[in-house]
Chain A
Amino acid sequence: MTEQQLESRQRIDTINPNDTPFAIRMRRLRTVSRNALDELLKSRTATIGAIMMIMLLVTCILTPVLATHPPTKPNYRVRLQPASADHYFGTDKFGRDIYSRVLWGGQRIVLISIAAVVLGLALGIPLGVFAGFFGGRFDSISMRCVDGLIAFPGLLLYLLIITVAREWKLEGFWNDSILVFALGLNTMPEIARLTRGTSMVEAKKEYVEAAHVVGEGSLHIALREILPNIVSPLIVNATVRLGYIILIIAALSFLGLGTPPPTPDWGSDLNVAREHMESNPMIAVYPGLAICYSVLAFNLFGDGLRDILDPRIQER
């Protein structure tokens, strides 16, 4: 370990016994942000991941500016065109601009997956921490509910929710909200179980017992001591989940249960492009690459973020 690294570790780990917990946290946060760039540049994965991720997010934000054509407007007179100055990625089966569709589709899918993961975390973490920490009856009841949800196998939950939701004539935003709800609901159990499992281990550890001896309240311990210690596996899980959700949306579209056409959607665009895979392979390449790129960006960034947030894992 270089001296500099050692120094930065110490900066995080040294705790002044006179500081309030809040001050410690704030200081930790300040240190982390001060070191963020350092850390980032130290890890190649993190650097690449962060750049990819920022590019993805910036592209999503700038989509209205970057897109050259309305994404849903077919022009069946220019269908299946190769790339050109007017259509950067060419046109699809319906003569729509693939470039614009990929952009708009990206904005949608990224938003949906972030919202779904946030929902999953918001539901799963509190449940897992409390269940793991308090154990007993609360653990039993909440874990039974989680088990009930987990027991709903795989894609079938989405299939049923989405089929049921079709009835409600939801359009645009609300339709996507159902997707977010279904995906979030399905993210929750895994997060809760993971959090619970780790909390159970942590709760038995010395520092928690020490905190008990010092007389700190249980909730306080759960929040302050356990939560930071389970951040690392959660971040790995949540970022993997982000990418995973993009893939689930694609799979649902593959089964024809995605957003109804003509909304731009990477999954269903890929599916339609499959028809032309041998004659016009490039149509399938763009949404396919877009999916791979985004999932990769989330995963790399997750890895990087993990290294930065978790001071225990340093270059060895």
Chain B
Amino acid sequence: MLIYTINRILQIIPVIFILSVLVFGFVHALPGDVIDTLTATDGEEDPEVRAALEKEFGLDKPIYVQYFIWVGSALQGDFGKSLVTRRPVNIELIERIPATVYLALVGIGLSILIAVPLGTLAAVRRNTLTDYSAQITSLAGISIPEFWFAILCILLFALQLGWLPSSGYAPLFSEPGKSIWYLILPALAVGFRQAAFTTRLTRSSMLDEISKDYVDTARSLGLSERKVIYKYTLRNAMIPTITISGLQLASLLGGTVVLETIFSWPGIGLAIYDAIQLRDFPVIQAGVLVLGVMVVVINLLVDLLYRVLNPRVGMS
């Protein structure tokens, strides 16, 4: 296991390399002139200003040199400075990433808390009222556009009932009470949708497991139904659930842009989206790369967990 783990960690390096090339390539393929955007106004074009700015941001060098300079300083933790705010990119990221991670983690946590019991129950009590209501709820969760659900939540909980704030953000550590208060609606919007997915998945993998031969064998050996379900089946059925939850968490890191817009949640997705619009390439590059590394690490953890849970898969 240790050797395997080390091996996997080493495998991350090429992935990050591929990612860095992808990001850099995409960002530099973005249409529109960066400097032009930066100075875009009614004002006149000034070749000197342009040259100075190109020099300042290293745009005067050949593209591959730019890449190596970027990677070189990124390895030392320096992502340059934002074209737009002129603050170090690190500041921009440090302000934004925690907000997204916070939302994604709580959302996924919430979804697992809802989905695993619900999915298991639905599978065990197949074709009962419990099953049907679980299925209908999860189908609704999957079918409603995320932003639509969020807007409806705001209309109901914030506007009609006045229970929760409609938008905003407070950091967890400095203002914990307020922070959780603001988090509830966005986390609900994230969690509801993810829970819908996970419930379906848990239910169907549970059904898969229940129908397997070893369950019959276990039953015939006189093991209690409860023990069969919760000790053996659930454990096996959790494997896809965990895989998918991990992937969901990873995809949420860049996938909450829409909810961030609706709830004015100052996350990294929104920051990168803005940066794309403004062609603030140091922020796009750094943001996507850092998120990407986080995704890779999460995937690694999911993979390791997958093996711990499913010993039948070899360690090769």
What residues make up the interface of A, taking CB atoms closer than 8 Å to B? 45, 135-136, 140, 144-145, 147-148, 150-157, 159-161, 163-164, 166-167, 190, 193-194, 197, 200-201, 204, 232-233, 236, 240, 243-244, 247, 250-251, 254-255, 267, 270, 274, 277, 288, 291-293, 295-296, 299-300, 303, 306, 312-316
The interface residues of chain B lying within 8 Å CB-to-CB of A136 are 316
Q: Does B29 contact A (CB under 8 A)?
A: yes
How many angstroms from the CA of A119 to the CA of B253 in the assembled complex?
25
How many angstroms from the CA of A140 to the CA of B205 in the assembled complex?
27
The interface residues of chain B lying within 8 Å CB-to-CB of A288 are 145, 148
| Sample (25) of A-B pairs whose CB atoms are under 8 Å apart | A147-B299, A150-B299, A151-B19, A151-B293, A151-B295, A152-B23, A153-B269, A154-B257, A155-B257, A156-B254, A156-B272, A159-B272, A160-B27, A166-B31, A194-B240, A197-B239, A201-B310, A201-B313, A204-B313, A247-B145, A270-B145, A277-B151, A293-B143, A296-B139, A316-B210
Q: Which residue in A236, A254, A299 is a CB contact (below 8 Å) of B143?
A: A299
Q: A153 with B295: in contact, given A163-B31, A236-B201, A299-B143 (CB under 8 Å)? A: yes
Total number of B residues with any Cβ neighbor in A under 8 Å: 68
Q: Are A151 and B142 in contact (CB under 8 A)?
A: no
The interface residues of chain B lying within 8 Å CB-to-CB of A160 are 26-27, 30, 276, 284, 288
Q: A150 with B18: in contact, given A140-B11, A159-B273 (CB under 8 Å)? A: no
How many angstroms from the CA of A236 to the CA of B206 in the assembled complex?
14
CB distance from B168 to the nearest CB of A (A): 20
CB distance from A288 to the nearest CB of B (A): 6
From B144, B239, B257, B291, name the one whose CB has the most chain A CB atoms within 10 angstroms: B257
- List residues of B (2-40) whose CB comes within 8 Å of A's CBs: 11, 14-16, 18-19, 22-23, 26-27, 29-31
Q: Are A148 and B15 in contact (CB under 8 A)?
A: yes
Q: A164 with B30: in contact, given A153-B288, A201-B313, A306-B204 (CB under 8 Å)? A: yes
Chain A interface, >50% SS class: helix
CB distance from B203 to the nearest CB of A (A): 10
Q: Are A292 and B144 in contact (CB under 8 A)?
A: yes
The interface residues of chain A lying within 8 Å CB-to-CB of B231 are none
Q: Are A154 and B207 in contact (CB under 8 A)?
A: no
How many angstroms from the CA of A250 to the CA of B211 in the assembled complex?
38
How many angstroms from the CA of A151 to the CA of B299 in the assembled complex?
9
Q: Are B126 and A316 in contact (CB under 8 A)?
A: yes
How many angstroms from the CA of A316 to the CA of B256 in the assembled complex?
40
The interface residues of chain A lying within 8 Å CB-to-CB of B30 are 160, 163-164
How many angstroms from the CA of A236 to the CA of B139 in the assembled complex?
13
How many angstroms from the CA of A274 to the CA of B201 in the assembled complex?
33
Q: Which residue in B127, B139, B250 is a CB contact (below 8 Å) of A299?
A: B139
Q: Which residue in B23, B31, B148, B243 is a CB contact (below 8 Å) of A193?
A: B243
Q: Are A147 and B313 in contact (CB under 8 A)?
A: no
Q: Are B254 and A153 in contact (CB under 8 A)?
A: yes
The interface residues of chain B lying within 8 Å CB-to-CB of A251 are 145-147, 257-258
Q: Are B147 and A153 in contact (CB under 8 A)?
A: no
Q: Are B148 and A154 in contact (CB under 8 A)?
A: no
How many angstroms from the CA of A157 to the CA of B269 in the assembled complex?
11
Q: Are A151 and B148 in contact (CB under 8 A)?
A: no
How many angstroms from the CA of A295 to the CA of B299 in the assembled complex?
28
How many angstroms from the CA of A316 to the CA of B269 in the assembled complex?
46
Q: A313 with B207: in contact, given A150-B299, A153-B291, A292-B144 (CB under 8 Å)? A: yes
From A144, A201, A232, A250, name the one whose CB has the most chain B CB atoms within 10 angstroms: A144
Q: Are A295 and B253 in contact (CB under 8 A)?
A: no
How many angstroms from the CA of A270 to the CA of B144 in the assembled complex?
12
How many angstroms from the CA of A296 to the CA of B204 in the assembled complex?
17
Q: A151 with B15: in contact, given A156-B288, A313-B211 (CB under 8 Å)? A: yes
Q: Are A236 and B254 in contact (CB under 8 A)?
A: no
The interface residues of chain B lying within 8 Å CB-to-CB of A190 are 247
Q: Does B266 contact A (CB under 8 A)?
A: no
Query: Which 3 residue pairs across A and B have the least CB separation, nearest first?
Result: A153-B254, A154-B255, A154-B254
How many angstroms from the CA of A233 to the CA of B207 in the assembled complex?
11
The interface residues of chain B lying within 8 Å CB-to-CB of A247 are 145-146
Q: Does B73 contact A (CB under 8 A)?
A: no
Q: A240 with B299: in contact, given A153-B255, A154-B251, A164-B26 (CB under 8 Å)? A: no
The interface residues of chain B lying within 8 Å CB-to-CB of A267 are 145
- List residues of B (291-316) whose CB comes within 8 Å of A's CBs: 291-293, 295-296, 299, 306, 310, 312-314, 316
* Residue interface bits B145-156, CB-to-A below 8 A is 1, else 0: 111100100000
How many angstroms from the CA of A190 to the CA of B23 in the assembled complex?
20
Q: Are B253 and A153 in contact (CB under 8 A)?
A: yes
How many angstroms from the CA of A250 to the CA of B276 in the assembled complex?
19
